[in-house]
């Protein structure tokens, strides 16, 4: 999986989706017996057949409310990371999807005005400022992201963060397992 930078002013291309994008659209059930690379090749194929073959590292998804509804499959977020998606920007997310996304290093920005962004627009993601900057300079504020979730994104996911903290001594092994 890709480790994404904490902040970048590079323009990110917008892929626009509607409301209620579910986990079966992101990681189709028919492919769950395969590895994440194969699942990612089929990501969003029912609603955007051009997505998996056309998305480029650093691109962002902008969607309507309720992104990630459905089952709790972690592969729905991991498929986007595998494809190099920088962030998903939406007015709201499923709670399970929200945590799964950060666990695998996918940045989610809860932005009430996300739907003003259109297909093919270019935006910059200001992670420390919890905002999206349009190419015309308009700023879209997003809900603040707690530091521990930002750390997960910067590390490329929870497992990478824990490995790094164990290696640098900032995380001590559990006393029962020491």
Residues 6+ positions from 118 with CB-CB distance below 8 Å: 14, 16
What's the confidence (pLDDT) of residue 176?
77
Q: What is the mean pLDDT of residues 96-103?
A: 96
How far from the centroid of its chain's Cα atoms is residue 4's Cα? 10
Greatest Cα-to-Cα distance within the chain, rounded to the nearest angstrom: 55
Read off the pLDDT of residues 69-98 as tens digits, 9 standing for 90 and up: 998 899 999 999 999 999 999 999 999 999
Read off the pLDDT of residues 126-152 as tens digits, 9 standing for 90 and up: 988 899 999 899 999 999 999 999 999
CB neighbours (10 Å) of residue 102? 23
Tell me the domains of the chain and their CATH numbers.
12-144 (3.20.19.10)
Distance, CA of 72 to CA of 87 (rounded, Å): 19
DSSP state of 80: H
| Whole-number average pLDDT of the chain | 91
Angle at 156 between CA 150 and CA 108, to 5 degrees: 50
Distance, CA of 99 to CA of 74 (rounded, Å): 9
Percent over 90 (pLDDT), the chain: 81
Residue 171 or residue 97, greater confidence? 97
Residue 6 has pLDDT above 90, yes or no: no
What's the confidence (pLDDT) of residue 65?
97
What's the confidence (pLDDT) of residue 9?
57
Is the model's pTM score more than 0.75? yes
What's the confidence (pLDDT) of residue 11?
85
Q: Pairing mode, if any, of strands 60-62 and 87-90?
A: parallel
Kind plus residue range of the DSSP H or E element containing 103:
helix 95-103
Which of 40, 42, 80 lies closest to 61 in space, CA to CA? 80
What's the confidence (pLDDT) of residue 10?
67
């Amino acid at each position: 999986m890709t480790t994404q930078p904490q902040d970048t002013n590079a323009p990110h291309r917008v892929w626009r989706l509607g409301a209620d994008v579910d986990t079966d659209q992101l990681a189709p059930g028919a492919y769950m017996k395969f590895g994440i690379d194969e699942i990612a090749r089929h990501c969003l194929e029912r609603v955007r057949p051009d997505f998996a073959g056309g998305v480029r590292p650093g691109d962002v998804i902008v969607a309507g409310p309720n992104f990630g509804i459905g089952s709790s499959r972690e592969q729905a977020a991991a498929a986007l990371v595998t494809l190099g998606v920088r962030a998903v920007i939406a007015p709201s997310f499923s709670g399970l999807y929200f945590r799964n996304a950060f666990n695998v290093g996918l940045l989610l920005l809860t932005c009430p005005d996300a739907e003003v962004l259109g297909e093919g627009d270019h935006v910059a993601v200001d992670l420390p400022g919890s905002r999206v900057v349009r190419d015309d300079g308009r700023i879209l504020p997003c809900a603040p992201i707690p530091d521990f979730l930002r750390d997960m994104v910067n590390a490329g996911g929870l497992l990478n963060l824990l490995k790094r903290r164990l290696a640098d001594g900032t995380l001590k092994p559990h006393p029962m397992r020491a």
